[in-house]
A = this chain, B = another copy of it.
Amino acid sequence: MVPIPTIKRFPSYLRLLYHYQEEGHQWISATTLAKELSFTAVQVRKDVSATGVEGKPKIGFEIAPLIDAIRHTLGWDCQTEAILIGAGNLGSAFARYEGFSSYGFRIVAVFDNDPAKEGLLLGSLQVQPVTGIASYIAQSGVDFALLAIPASVVQQVAEELVQLGIKAFWNFAPRNLKLPASVLVQRTDLSTSFAVLSARYTAQKAR
């Protein structure tokens, strides 16, 4: 299995590879990648080797196959469709965000329990009432949900969605979900990220 830290670096590699490709390059060395991304060249080679791509001494790696291999390792060569639960501040931003497409991710429906939001247009998606979730999942076969709802309700909503067939969650509410082990959960939480910055900021100020 590919180590998590390596997977976290893959999106940065991808962006840079696309950039070099657009500039007309066909090959790139680990040395160059490392310099651009402030990694070490050894780390780049180790990361690349996890994709199975092999380079040529003195030249480096061929860009196009490397892009394909990283996309494949991440699963970004297949389209992943998800429903979005919650059309508040953050939910609205996600519904309108166009950057998802570059990682094969697409929000196909938005639900909110506020009747006042029904029909509201977010990008190209109309907010639907939560009463329609069950039939939507049944019909579409979607098994991936993005949770942009308050922490106080996220556990209960997630449990209901599991009952309806959802197998993976991207949870933006600041609460740990307790779900069956077969269900994938990834939490993306502003507070975690801010904690690191804040602790470093405070430590620096103290100096």
Interface of A with B (CB < 8 Å)?
1-2, 4, 7-8, 10-12, 15, 36-38, 73-76, 78, 80, 89-90, 92-93, 96-97, 99-100, 102-105, 144, 151, 167-168, 170, 174-176, 178, 184, 186, 188-205
Cβ-neighbour of A199 out of B7, B37, B178 (below 8 A): B7
5 closest A-B pairs by CB: A75-B202, A186-B197, A11-B191, A89-B93, A93-B93
Interface residues of A: mostly helix, strand, loop or mixed?
helix
In the complex, residue of chain B having the shortest beta-carbon distance to the beta carbon of A104:
B198
Residues of chain B within 8 A (CB-CB) of A197 are 168, 170, 184, 186
Residues of chain B within 8 A (CB-CB) of A178 are 38
Cβ-neighbour of A194 out of B105, B191, B194, B198 (below 8 A): B105
A174 to B100, CA, bound (A): 12
Contact A176 B78, CB 8 Å, known A97-B90, A170-B194: no
Structural contact, A193 and B199, CB atoms closer than 8 A: no
CB distance from A172 to the nearest CB of B (A): 10
Residues of chain B within 8 A (CB-CB) of A196 are 4, 7-8, 186
Structural contact, A186 and B193, CB atoms closer than 8 A: yes
A93 to B196, CA, bound (A): 21
A170 to B7, CA, bound (A): 22
Structural contact, A198 and B93, CB atoms closer than 8 A: no
Structural contact, B2 and A192, CB atoms closer than 8 A: no
In the complex, residue of chain B having the shortest beta-carbon distance to the beta carbon of A12:
B176
